[in-house]
Amino acid sequence: MSHVPFGQRDTLALNLLRSDAFVTRQGETDRAALQQQLGVNCGLIADPTQQQFCNEVIDTTVANNRFGTATSLGGFDRLRSYPQGRFKGAHTLFFGAEYRWNLTDERTPFDIFVMKSVRTSIQFALFYETGVTSDTRSDLYERKNMRDSYGAGFRIVTASGVVLRADLAHGKEGVSTAIFIGYPWEL
């Protein structure tokens, strides 16, 4: 992660993540054998939506057993508008930018009902993230495969370094809100 200061009160945080799985021994990749192990038979499911979901679970398991699983995207840290672990694959590529503006400095005490005289910094943040997961490396660099997430948030940074974060993120699948401890991209 890199930080680029713009002035006394604002910073641009940048993050690049590349993660690759390396499979030393493949797991089970036969669909019928997997269905038997899991105790399901997708072909016997009458509801088309449930049958499709069953097939997707089997397909995902086959891909994970064949190619492995790298760092997933989605959740509190990367592609924040998507659910935790929404995108998984053998290879991951992620870019993130977060502009942080300090509304107060660390000498300003935080003085509310339950917390008095705790020294803090309050930040406003705007962020944009894009990333992709894939079972093959060649698909990582095609823009059409990337997912985007953007939004805004507030951070309370205590004098001890604890960061309390609230974000509102938007992406192709909707809006997500999160309250979390720690800056994004730390995990």
pLDDT digits (tens, 9 = 90+) for 49-103: 999 989 988 888 888 788 877 888 999 889 999 999 888 888 999 999 999 999 8
pLDDT by residue (tens digit) across 140-182? 888 888 999 999 999 988 777 788 899 999 999 999 999 998 8
Overall average pLDDT of the 121-128 stretch: 94
Question: Strands, E, within 105-173: which ranges?
Answer: 109-110, 118-134, 147-158, 163-171
User: Structure tokens of 61?
Assistant: 């398991």
Distance of CA 159 to the CA centre of its chain: 27
Higher local confidence (pLDDT), 40 or 158: 40
3-state secondary structure of 134: strand
User: Structure tokens of 118?
Assistant: 């705790």
3-state secondary structure of 180: strand
One-letter amino acid for residue 172 of the chain: K
Distance CA 60, CA 66 (A): 10
Distance CA 75, CA 96 (A): 14
Distance CA 149, CA 172 (A): 8
- The structure tokens 């705007």 sit at 126
Instruction: State residue 92's pLDDT score.
Output: 93
Instruction: State residue 109's pLDDT score.
Output: 62
Instruction: State residue 118's pLDDT score.
Output: 62
CATH architecture of 2-20+71-181: Beta Barrel (2.40)
Largest Cα span, the chain: 66
Residue 107 — pLDDT band, cuts 50, 70, 90? low
What is the residue extent of each domain of the chain? 2-20+71-181, 22-68
Instruction: State residue 73's pLDDT score.
Output: 93
Answer yes or no: are the C-beta atoms of 148 and 171 closer than 8 Å: yes
Overall average pLDDT of the 14-41 stretch: 88
Higher local confidence (pLDDT), 26 or 181: 181
